[in-house]
Chain A
Amino acid sequence: MTAFVLLAGLLALVAGFAIAWPILRARSARGTGAREANLAVFRDQLRDLDGAQERGEISAESHARAMEELRQRVAEDVDRATAAPRAAETWRWAGWIAAACVPALAALIYVMTGHPAALDEANPPARREAPHALAGARMAGMAERLASRLRSKPEDAEGWATLGRSLAAAGRFGEAAEALAEAARRMPGNATILAEQADVLAMSQGRRFDGEPDRLVAAALAADPRNVKALALAGTSAYARGDFAVAAVHWRRLLALVPVQAEMARQVEASAREAERRAAAGSDATITGTVVFPSSRSEALKPDAVVFVIARPRDGRGRPVAVARLKPSSLPAPFRLGDGDSLLPALPLSGHSEVLLEARLARDGSAEPRAGDPRSAPRAVRPGERSIALELRAPGT
């Protein structure tokens, strides 16, 4: 504290006197007069003009016209009587006022806006430690100090909230939830605290919202239907339990509250669109993956070659459920098989609990299977599975 006051006082006095010095000593500012400054410009222009004439860029006639114009401008800009500023009869008292006012004004504003109490807040950043060790050790220490402070002063709701956030940052979600519960008890109806509590609780039970977290999110939204964090969590929870329409509604509401340009808006927009898509599709049954052909790595295919990815009913009988027709330029190639590829709209891919998935390469593009076509072994797949690898094999291998 003392060191700060001394340093700040010294800084203020030096600044005040450095500014006031010329007035106290009646020193003058030295500089160019208006006449010389403007003449210097016209001198340069005259030189440019003569140069242009010598090079033959301009005719003698236009040179003369430009000279006449220059003369007029000189008359306008140069010929004005300006009294040189003088320092002799300055008001010296103004110097003392300046020397006093600068530090005084600064001190006044500091008293209004400063945080001298923070000087006593011991926060020695241990610079020599490695960042991770530093984070861990300091985290523990600070949380400990905060907790002991709160034991003696348990009514400090903000303190409990900060403790909760610190513990959450350290990954101690269980304890964080307890601290936030303390904060929530002291700040009833605070939507942000409730939402944070729901968040850490969900984290502590493995990112699952069922039970208490869902109830807390609902309470937060009841307290403030426009709380950003609560809306985000409500959407996430609904999405996680497959309630895509509800998730989309929450996220759309959230989107209306976020500044348009913010990066967050883009993310929320993307999530909301995804939820809407899945809500519209019932449940997302799309199967994605790749078709590979290990026996001839990255075989270049003829332009009319076609890869068929076929989903059949589980028992392997009857007509295929869905077929995707790919025309890759080479293998391996990504595929995507969705309800849109279903052969019978009445019984789409998503209507099956499991299908047999198979790939076939038709080198000439024919839809009729031939004996020599490389195929993959049929594989049982649930609609909605991702990253399925289908390996083609030439017959007989």
Chain B
Amino acid sequence: MIAELGHFALILALAASLAQGLLLIAGVRRGDAAWMAAGRHAAVVHPLLVAVAFAALVACFVGNDFTVKAVASHSHTALPAAYRAAAAWAGHEGAMLLWATMLAMWTLAVRFATHRLPLDLACRALGVLGLVSSGFLVVAIAVSSPFARLIPSPAQGRDLDPLLQDPAMLLHPPLVIAGYAGLAVAFALALAALLDGRLEAAWARWSRPWVLAAWCFLTAGIAAGALWASREPGWTGWWSWDPLQNASLMPWLAATALLHSLAVAEKRGLFRRWTVLLAILAFSLCLLGAYLARAGALSSLHAFAPDPRRGLAILALLASVAGAALVLFARSAAAPDGHGAFEMISREAGLAAATAVLVAALGAVMLGTLLPLVSEAAGLGRITVGTPYFTAVFLPLMLPGLLLAGPGPRLRWGSESPAEALRDSVRPAAAAAAAGAYAAFAAERPGAWTAIGLFVSAWIAWHVFEAVAFRWRLESRWSGVRTARWPEASFFAMHVAHFGVAVLVAGISVSNGFEQSSEFVLAPGATQALGSIHVRSDGPREVEGPNYRAVRVRIVVREGARETVVEPEKRLYRTSALPVTEVAVDAGLARDLHVSLVEPAGAGAWIVRVRVKPLMGFVWAGALLMILGGLLAVADRRYRAGVAARGGLADAALALAGSSPR
């Protein structure tokens, strides 16, 4: 019953999303306000129906309804309830439904939060979103139905892959897909503007908070995935340039480029066509990500032969979305692209360079990710593109962009005097040189990339400090120290996010460059040391988990006067009989300590692997700061309703409009 109702709600949602797309786009074209109103109703009805379908699928999983094929393939009665719910998106079918759900939630948000956009533009954007949603719903219903049945039903499910039984499974896929689907809003707004034939100021202004919000979700999702990978001993560290990770990095790079280009489009009305192109690219890459994930970690261990029709369906969706968008883009070649002037050294030039660097880096990642797939599909044999390629190509490409992130935000709009820009950079350069020299000569194990990384990090951080200090002096001089105003949120947003980049770069450089690890036999009561860290075993004991049996060793970690307890485990899951190593992590800002069990050495002793990653906390803190920056930017008062300037300023603006040549 629940499954059938969910299936029917999903179909009804398809009908509603089609109505949404057709009524809104045709309604705007005809100038028919009633059709537009009906389409806006559909933009509420369709998300609610998708939510019903999604809730039904989760209910089937939690209630162990093995007549539903997806449940039988990915769940098990002994699985804890939270993982049964998360198993809903472990398979391809559930992942497609999660996509549709996230699109629906963004649709709902757009429906209720765009009252300051021109009505035409908002309606067209909702119409495009409706059509994109119906594309996903068609795929979900026709080739990968989450409610497909398995009758006669098995008595037990095939269980969730033990590797996916991790708390991050609850967070990472929803966040990443929320980010992907959020970029659909930017895409829809861009297409709406193209349909309109004009890329207006209101379009650039109101695209920005949506891109920012989607970017925050995507950043958080990628960070959650990296955190997950860092604790999974079978995966090689928190970032391994795996095709799936790259699939989420590519839209992230495109979205970051889009954010920077939108800044110019909003402030100066320039780069509008380039911005539209980036919005199309970003969402197309999200669809590519959905395609790449088809055969990857999202599919379970048991999905031996992924259905080729599904891949084709997503590729067809990608082709029609990107194709239609590019046709519209080509047709709008006459739309004006602004005509403000700027010089070689100016904020505009800096932002243009930043987007160019990000897009070039994106190209490098795309080449490294798609080449193995293309080569295999073309019968040219298997090639592996791994970390060496990305270190040699991606890092040097990103380097100029990172160097630009320091002085870029301090450049003036329009034109900046080269002498002043140079003077601003003297102190940051000194700080950066000191940090780089420390890594290159003074540290225990110098490395070129570590030195470069610390140089870049100190360079950006010092620039941020100086920019904030400078602004603070300006504000206090202007209004007197006591009443010094806080600058607007977007000012802090930019600097917090860039500071996050500096912290992230420092974390990556140090944790990669100064990682220490060792393996030793740890008998009960015995103590071993790695550098200044002493570990002592309190002996193993058997633990009975909900669906596994485990050996857990209590290990006391002593560092100076501080003592903490970590409990690594070796698990044997009942259904798959796969031994799974559960790493125990003692995390801190200064260092992350990973302790894992390798193999038993007899008499309660275990061979234990201990890894110390200094400054690993900076990687997570950097990601958090970047997200915080994004959230601050969304919270800027410009984007809040009802805070529009009134009174004298408004009159001045109207006067300005009135004086313009007709």
Chain A positions within 8 Å of B, measured between CB atoms, are 3-4, 7-8, 11-12, 15, 18-23, 26-34, 37-47, 50, 54-58, 62, 65-67, 69-80, 82-87, 90-91, 94-95, 98, 101-103, 105-106, 109-110, 113-119, 121, 123, 125, 127, 131-132, 134-135, 138-139, 141-143, 146, 149, 159, 162-163, 165-166, 169-170, 228-229, 257-264, 266, 289-290, 292, 297-298, 328-330, 332-334, 387-389
Contacts and interface: CB of A to CB of B under 8 A. Distances in A.
A121 B151 contact: yes
B605 to A, nearest CB: 7
Nearest to B649: A47
Interface stretch (B111-119, B254-262, B398-406, B452-460): B111-119
B379 interface: no
Interface of B: 1, 3-5, 7-9, 11-12, 14-16, 18-19, 23, 27-28, 31-38, 40-42, 44-45, 49, 63-67, 77-78, 115-123, 141-142, 145, 147-149, 151-156, 161, 163, 198, 200-202, 205, 234, 242-244, 266-269, 295-297, 299, 301, 304-306, 336, 338-340, 372, 376, 382, 412-415, 474-475, 477-478, 519-521, 523, 525-529, 546, 575, 599-603, 605, 607, 638, 644-645, 649-650, 652-654, 656-657, 659-662
B115 A31 contact: yes
A196 to B, nearest CB: 12
Main secondary structure of the interface of B (DSSP, over half): mixed
A102 B12 contact: yes
Contacts of A55: 474-475, 477-478
A22 B37 contact: yes
A169 B18 CA distance: 43
B309 to A, nearest CB: 15
A33 B119 contact: yes
Contact of A117 (B64, B151, B296, B575): B151
Contact of A79 (B3, B269, B339, B662): B662
Contacts of B528: 298, 330
A292 B49 CA distance: 66
Contacts of B3: 118
Given A34-B200, A118-B3, 11 more contacts: A33-B119, A46-B645, A46-B649, A57-B474, A85-B119, A106-B11, A115-B4, A263-B161, A332-B523, A334-B519, A334-B601
Closest 9 CB pairs of A and B: A31-B119, A22-B37, A28-B33, A90-B34, A34-B118, A259-B295, A75-B660, A87-B33, A29-B37
A263 B520 CA distance: 28
B176 to A, nearest CB: 16
A297 B526 CA distance: 7
Given A43-B650, A290-B601, A330 B520 contact: yes
A136 B305 CA distance: 30
Given A21-B41, A118-B4, A123-B153, A109 B11 contact: yes
Given A69-B340, A118-B149, A290-B602, A260 B77 contact: no
A261 B294 CA distance: 10
23 contacts: A11-B9, A22-B34, A26-B34, A29-B33, A32-B119, A37-B118, A42-B653, A47-B649, A66-B413, A71-B659, A98-B38, A106-B8, A114-B4, A114-B8, A139-B156, A162-B152, A170-B155, A170-B156, A259-B296, A260-B295, A290-B521, A333-B520, A388-B602
A74 B31 contact: no
Contacts of A54: 478
Contact of B34 (A23, A116, A334): A23
A73 B32 CA distance: 29
A266 B474 contact: no
A98 to B, nearest CB: 6
Contacts of A83: 31
B318 to A, nearest CB: 18
A96 to B, nearest CB: 12
Contacts of B657: 39, 42, 74, 78-79
Contact of A260 (B7, B9, B154, B372): B372
Count chain B CB atoms within 10 A of each CB in A86, A146, A298, A389 and give the residue with the most.
A298
A261 B296 contact: yes
Count chain A CB atoms within 10 A of each CB in B33, B205, B652 and give the residue with the most.
B33
A20 B38 contact: yes
Given A109-B141, A261-B297, A262-B295, A332 B38 contact: no
Contact of A113 (B7, B18, B123): B7
A131 B78 contact: yes
Count chain A CB atoms within 10 A of each CB in B8, B123, B477, B527 and give the residue with the most.
B8
Given A7-B5, A266-B234, A46 B653 contact: yes
B31 A85 contact: yes
A105 B18 CA distance: 10
A7 B6 CA distance: 11
Contacts of B382: 260
Contacts of B242: 261
Contact of A135 (B78, B267, B297, B649): B78
Nearest to B527: A298
A130 B527 CA distance: 42
Contacts of B477: 55-56
B152 A261 contact: no
A23 B30 CA distance: 14
B424 to A, nearest CB: 14
Given A22-B41, A29-B33, A298-B528, A42 B65 contact: no
B152 A19 contact: no
B201 A41 contact: yes
B477 to A, nearest CB: 7
A3 to B, nearest CB: 7
A4 B33 contact: no
A138 B155 contact: yes
A228 to B, nearest CB: 5
A297 B119 CA distance: 78
A262 B296 contact: yes
Contact of A116 (B4, B117, B527): B4
Contacts of B19: 19, 98, 101-102
A253 to B, nearest CB: 14
A11 B120 contact: no
A46 B78 contact: no
Nearest to B31: A85
A118 B72 CA distance: 15
B387 to A, nearest CB: 16
Contacts of A114: 4, 7-8, 11
B301 to A, nearest CB: 5
A162 B412 CA distance: 71
A18 B19 CA distance: 12
Contacts of A62: 412, 414-415
Contact of B601 (A27, A70, A106, A387): A387
Contact of B412 (A40, A45, A58, A76): A58
Given A32-B119, A77-B198, A85-B36, A165 B601 contact: no
A46 B654 CA distance: 11
Nearest to A132: B78
Contacts of A260: 243, 295, 372, 376, 382
Nearest to B123: A29
Contact of A98 (B23, B77, B163, B301): B23
Contacts of B200: 34, 38, 77
Contacts of B475: 55
Contacts of B638: 44
A135 B156 contact: yes
A19 B601 contact: no
Given A37-B118, A118-B3, A290 B605 contact: yes
B478 A56 contact: yes
Given A72-B339, A74-B656, A132-B78, A11 B644 contact: no
Contact of A77 (B18, B40, B163, B201): B201
A171 to B, nearest CB: 10
Nearest to A122: B67
A46 B12 CA distance: 47
A357 to B, nearest CB: 14
